[in-house]
Amino acid sequence: MLREFIEKIDKKGIIKCIERPLSIKYEIAIVMKKFDGIPLLFKKVTESPQFRIISGIAGSRNLIREALNIKQENLYEKIIHAAENPKKPKEVSDAPFLKNTKDTLKELPILTHYENDGGPYITAALVYARDTDTDTQNVSFHRMMVIDDRHLAIRIVPRHLFTIFKKNKEKGKDTPVTIVIGVHPAVLISAAYPLEFGMDETWMANSLLDGKLEVISSPINNIEVPSHSEIIIEGFIDCNKEVDEGPFVDITGSYDKVRKQPIIEVEKVYFRENPIYHAILPAGEEHKILMGMPREVKIWSFVKQVVPEVKEVSLTSGGCGWLHAVISIRKHTEGDPKNAIIAAFAAHPSLKHCVVVDDDIDVHNPSDVEWAIATRFQASEDLIIINNVRGSSLDPSADQETLITTKVGIDATIPLSKRKEDFIKAKPPAEIERKILKILNKS
């Protein structure tokens, strides 16, 4: 399914093919950074000639819409519907990735991205694990640093995989995992979406794909993974061993600190013929979209419960796709923007700054948002400051021990007590503008 999506966007001229041989050490990452947000297909990888590398397949909201075959206004509804109405995928007995097997990571084109990285990092890996207490699967993104050809350091934060790992550790057991690289964007979105513990993200992905996803039990760990996966790695997280993980550039573009993290011992690697390795540039647009966009959906859902009409939400690129939100609403009462701000902070606890604007403002245009703040915001009336609350570990300005921070909300909407006409941008007649722009586009 990933290959079909690549073919689809290639036919539309969206993808950029890189024919020149490039190294996995810095060179490919430099090109990814130059064309950030654009899908790139690297056809010649110096150290791994049998592999191709894809990046940027989820590097914009438009690409997500292409992957899900939906229009702009239906994106959040589609994702929420899939989360609330998961479908069990069809299980098959064979998969293309079973054609080739290796005992080590040696042939994989694992990138080194920045000059002070702790080592080569797998950045687009989905980790599949089973909770034996509930007999349910979990799927989640985790960065993995190469230690050697048979071992990876995995960064695990206190979420669902951590819960499974901790339960096994208390029993003195290792945690079997199947690592998947190279899947359709719908699977990536589902893995990033904050489902409740015990819900299988693969079922949500199948719903997003209208029931077309097929799965297969992995050969060693018997964990269900997408049959169209390009690469899978079977192994286990050692319940006793830890190693220094990092430095690593996280979503803020700065280095995350070095921590002791668990080790994955690799048992077997499987991959398709002419395999495609998916790489995400740390702190790039694809990183921000996959990490932030599912949280936009949650913010949108929460705000809709307190404000009648919510148009769009953006976790902005300048805010690292994580710390800053802009929300556009159709305001009915003076309290609507402040209610939206409070709901947004509840929906996404890592959120640091939130701006609410009217529905004539493009939340994805920083200049438009700044203009709204400049012309529609008065700090004495429209500013909310919340002191001494838990923020994000990714914010280097927060207290790194307690994660305590200060949150700010800005109501940049037109006051209902004033003439709306005084706050609207001047523009030429729409019909004449369309006519002139059409002529210019042809010339």
Q: How long a stretch of residues is the chain?
A: 443
Give me 17's structure tokens: 């093919």
Alpha-carbon gap, residue 373 to 379, rounded angstroms:
10
- CA 232 to mean position of chain CA atoms: 20
3-state secondary structure of 276: strand
Alpha-carbon gap, residue 328 to 314, rounded angstroms:
9
Alpha-carbon gap, residue 386 to 356, rounded angstroms:
16
Identify the CA nearest to 179 among candidates 231, 130, 132, 217: 231
Residues 6 or more apart whose Cβ sits within 8 Å of residue 58: 64, 67, 185, 188, 189, 286, 289, 290
What is the DSSP track for 372-385?
HHHHH--HHHHEEE
**Angle subtended at Cα 291 by Cα 285 and Cα 296, rounded to the nearest 5 degrees:** 100
**Angle subtended at Cα 406 by Cα 252 and Cα 316, rounded to the nearest 5 degrees:** 35
Distances from the Cα of 220 to the Cαs of 93, 183, 273, 331, 350, in angstroms?
14, 20, 20, 55, 37
Q: What Rg, from alpha-carbon coordinates, does the chain have?
A: 23
Distances from the Cα of 412 to the Cαs of 183, 312, 330, 415, 422, in angstroms?
40, 15, 12, 9, 14
Contact between 111 and 51 under an 8 Å Cβ cutoff? The reply is no
Alpha-carbon gap, residue 59 to 432, rounded angstroms:
34
Active centre residues (catalytic): 250
Instruction: Tell me which amino acid residue 56 is.
Output: G
- CA 18 to mean position of chain CA atoms: 24
Instruction: Tell me which amino acid residue 414 is.
Output: I
Give me 331's structure tokens: 């305001």
